[in-house]
Chains A and B, each alone.
Chain A
Amino acid sequence: MWGRALMILATLLVPLSARADGGLARLVVDSGEFRLTVFSSPTPLRAGPVDLSVMVQDRETLEPMLDRRVELRLVPSAGGRSLEVAAIRGHSTNRLLYSALVDLPDPGRWRIEVEVTGARAGARESFEVWVGAERPAVLALWPYWALPLIAIGIFGLHQWRSQKLRRLNPGRVG
């Protein structure tokens, strides 16, 4: 029973470390000699850090193309400063994707332009996304403030149990 509880606790923590880039496919389009798929994460999109990943495939064979140059340009529809960033494979967990972490400053409608260039030809596509208001950092980081609360709860339970055991076994030390 003791080990059972320990095992379940330990393995509960295992999936907490799982992370994957990619997310929701926002655009799948044949463009030039490529098929482009653009993923975004988180879902729904919010102002703040956003992961944008692009898969570039050969339009005919659908083989992933790993030696292209992928540039992303994010333009706020309401006007304002646009952001430009290069998506690279080194940033991705999935090495077939070109990805970039972009810090979106404002909520609202954004146009995302994807430009792929290669040895012979290039492609350029764009699409629009709606970006919600930034999630308060306190909410985004909830595990860090929840951890002490959980620990305090377990400690309270522990003290309550210890007190009860002491009452049942008055002669026992510890």
Chain B
Amino acid sequence: MGEVAGAAFGSWTFAPVLSLLLLLTGAVYFRGWRALRAQQPERFKPWRLTAFWGGLLTLWVAISSPLDAFGNLLLQVHMLQHWLLMMLAPPLLWLGLPAIALLRGLPVTVQRQGLGPLLAWPALRRLGRFLTHPLVAWFSFVIATWLWHAPAAYQLALRSPFWHEVEHACFVVTALMFWHPVILPWPSQSSWPRWAILPYLVLADLQNTAFSALFAFSEGVMYPVYASGPRLFGITALEGQASAGGLMWVLGSVAFLLPVGILLGRLLQSRGVRPGTLRAVESAPAVSPSARSRAPAPPRDLLRVPILGRILGARYFRRWLQTAMLLLAAVIVLDGLAGPDLSPLNLAGVLPWTYWRGFVVIGLLVAGNLFCMACPFMLPRAIGRRLLPRGRSWPTALRSKWLAISLLVAYLVAYEVFALWDSPFWTAWIVIGYFVAAFVVDGFFRGASFCKYLCPIGQFHFVASTVSPLEIRVRDSAVCARCSSHDCIRGNATQRGCELDLFQPLKSGNLDCTFCLDCVQACPHENVGVLAVVPGLDLIRDPMRASIGRLSARSDFAALALVVVFGAFANAAAMVAPVAEWKTQLAQRLGVSSPGFLTAALLVPSLTLLPALAVAACTWAGRALGRPEQSAAELARRFALILVPLGFGLWFAHFCFHLVSARASALPAIQRAAETWLGLAGEFGAGMAALPGWLLPLELLALDAGLLLTLYLGWRVARTSTKSLRRAGGLLLPWGILALLLYAVGFWILLQPMQMRGTGML
């Protein structure tokens, strides 16, 4: 029996979403509770915190513990689970006085601008009052209990996970409604006198008694599903049903009658207190006046985080990163040129296409442009500057992104046409080409001309980092106003200034920023930091930017953003089986013998003509519907940028798929390389691992987030173009439709089987 008990008690379900949600709620509550305790220590005592966290823990146990796993085998276990969800967790949560604490725990901006307008909505307030009215709450609770325990509904919930979740949702919500008038958490006020809660609870207990008795004394099995299942631990379905009834009877009575006793005691006590005193306590303001006028906290600065800040700010930190990446690049070149031309067994086939791309998009999402920070091509650039006659200015005619855009399009097309992911040899030559180009360009031209005007990978990162949560910028603009040396751009004796001509006081966002931290090192006032920003918001601002100007006047930036966005869809679509099949059929129908030619003929317009036509159509329709004052060109340039989050969402989903699906693919390549180059023999491991169940949801959520951010940015841009709500809606409508169309395409792509493209397929 020991082994069986061990297995039974080991039947926990780890639900990451649930756990994360509860942890987040607990953290937000704690933040708010701590702030409120400083103002009202008598009201927000530590036991309130314990009660709220206890309520969250109870919810977690009810859903994640063996109670859930055994609910469909043992009725009494299922009833215990329901008791936790309906009778224990809700009152504990209300005892924590969560109303104001949860709100205070949220950032001020979210409170005021996000939730404020909604929570101040009279209709919502009326709905809240209605739902927690004792009569509505009591009947909802009782009806939910009886209806969901009717045999048809109960068995439906056991058969279907979806209906099981709906059942639990009904229980939790109606139980929260039921227990609200009982606890009456501050600052709520009851329309009923407190004594009325006594019959409220007693009547609930009476119905619970009748309900439990039905189970306990029934002579037949109410739920045939338990009779048709296995008899576990020798308990028959009827015995289980009787014990379930007894359990509900006893535990339910405790839950209903214990508060009756407490409430009765309080009512008797309060007869000695002057009514005015109680009213004064009850009507105390939820948030003190000083708290109401709280200013938003200054943005967090990564350079001021203990240890990490010191590491990042260290003078040679970036050089170490670059050296490590340079060594990796050297290994890739060596193995790509001299190793087997079989991508799963070659470091040049695995490291760049599976790992580097995956880590880069994760880095962009959680931090910023980390690739440029660790760029391995910095060393050849530095050597080029020493050896070649540097000193020319980059030609004025080429001081835009058009050349880089052409190279990015060429790279995306070449990737498909020449199947670069499957050719370690050509991968190595691309790296070499990069080294040579960086060496020559920066050897002849001043500044970081290669990074700014040529590097296609850099352009991808510049665009994608507009949705990153970190940005290098000044901490206090007043300090810059007093500065006359401008070391951040000019440099000084020990540190050069920004090579990309980004003058910090005028810098906005991450465009053209390589995260080199030169400005951080150069600033004599230590006024440049790596600050937290709201991802994507920079795309809706249109200030005069250092070295860039206004984005509304830069067609090249809009075109670059469009290539990155449409490139995400074209690149991912080319990988899925239905598109590959369609391409084959098209080649047969057209009599095209060269698949590469057809790929290029499809891809080039997809990256250039298609976005141009889409933008033209949206701009025309938006102008017709919204009648804004701006020119068509200006609108096109501004709205094109809002699509970046959606495109990044798909890049992220796509590269994460490769990283996760081929996460073990480095092993055989490393073992093979170690054997070839170092003479270390080893057994080749498996390259592919099973796809985890969370991968597709993660990909879809990334796409969801991209769509929502795109629509939000579009709305903000539209609102800056016109004050009328209706016109703003008209202006956004075509762009919203375009975003939804792209989203639908992305959703479809992610549901298709993707080719592994050589990585790790042994």
Contacts and interface: CB of A to CB of B under 8 A. Distances in A.
Interface string B415-451: 0000000000000000000000000000000000000
B68 interface: yes
Interface in B156-180: 159-161, 164-169, 172-173, 176, 180
B342 interface: no
A70 interface: no
B112 interface: yes
B131 to A, nearest CB: 8
Contacts of B751: 137-138, 141
Contacts of A18: 13, 15, 18, 63, 68, 161, 164-165, 168
B4 A41 contact: no
B232 A64 contact: yes
Contacts of B169: 12, 14-16
A165 B115 CA distance: 13
Contact of B225 (A25, A42, A157): A25
B697 interface: yes
Given A18-B15, A93-B13, A96-B4, A4 B25 contact: no
Contacts of A8: 131, 173, 176
Contact of A1 (B66, B125, B168): B125
Looking at B1, B72, B125, which has the most chain A CB atoms within 10 Å of its CB?
Answer: B72
Nearest to B168: A15
Interface string A13-27: 111111111111100
Query: How many interface residues does chain A have, given as a range?
Result: 35 or more
Query: Which of A8, A35, A165 is packed against the most chain B CB atoms within 10 Å?
Result: A8
A78 interface: no
B150 interface: no
Given A12-B172, A18-B165, A148-B708, A1 B73 contact: no
A131 interface: no
Contacts of A25: 225, 228-230
B229 A28 contact: yes
Interface in A73-130: 89, 92-96
Contacts of B233: 62
Given A3-B102, A28-B228, A95 B8 contact: yes
Interface string B333-363: 0000000000000000000000000000000
Contact of B73 (A28, A41, A94): A94
Tell which of B114, B173, B743 has the most Cβ of chain A within 10 Å.
Answer: B173
Nearest to A10: B25
Interface string B49-93: 000000000010001001011111100000000000000000001
B69 A165 contact: no
B99 interface: yes
Nearest to A51: B161
B17 interface: yes
Interface in B1-48: 1, 3-4, 7-8, 10-11, 13, 15-19, 21-22, 25
A35 B93 contact: no
A145 B747 contact: yes
Interface stretch (B116-124, B272-280, B563-571, B623-631): B116-124
Given A4-B180, A159-B725, A20 B71 contact: yes
B707 interface: yes
A35 B230 contact: yes
A165 B63 CA distance: 40
Contact of B132 (A4, A28, A148, A157): A4
A94 B726 CA distance: 55
The residue among A1, A21, A61, A66 with the most chain B CB atoms within 10 A of its own CB is A1
Given A16-B165, A37-B230, A94-B11, 18 more contacts: A1-B188, A6-B115, A7-B98, A11-B176, A13-B18, A14-B18, A20-B13, A20-B164, A23-B72, A25-B230, A63-B1, A66-B4, A92-B11, A95-B7, A144-B700, A155-B712, A158-B117, A174-B116
Question: 10 closest Cβ contacts across the A-B interface?
Answer: A3-B99, A17-B18, A15-B168, A17-B15, A95-B7, A144-B700, A94-B69, A161-B117, A37-B230, A43-B159
15 contacts: A1-B99, A2-B103, A3-B102, A6-B115, A14-B172, A19-B15, A20-B161, A66-B7, A89-B7, A94-B11, A96-B4, A145-B747, A148-B707, A151-B708, A174-B113
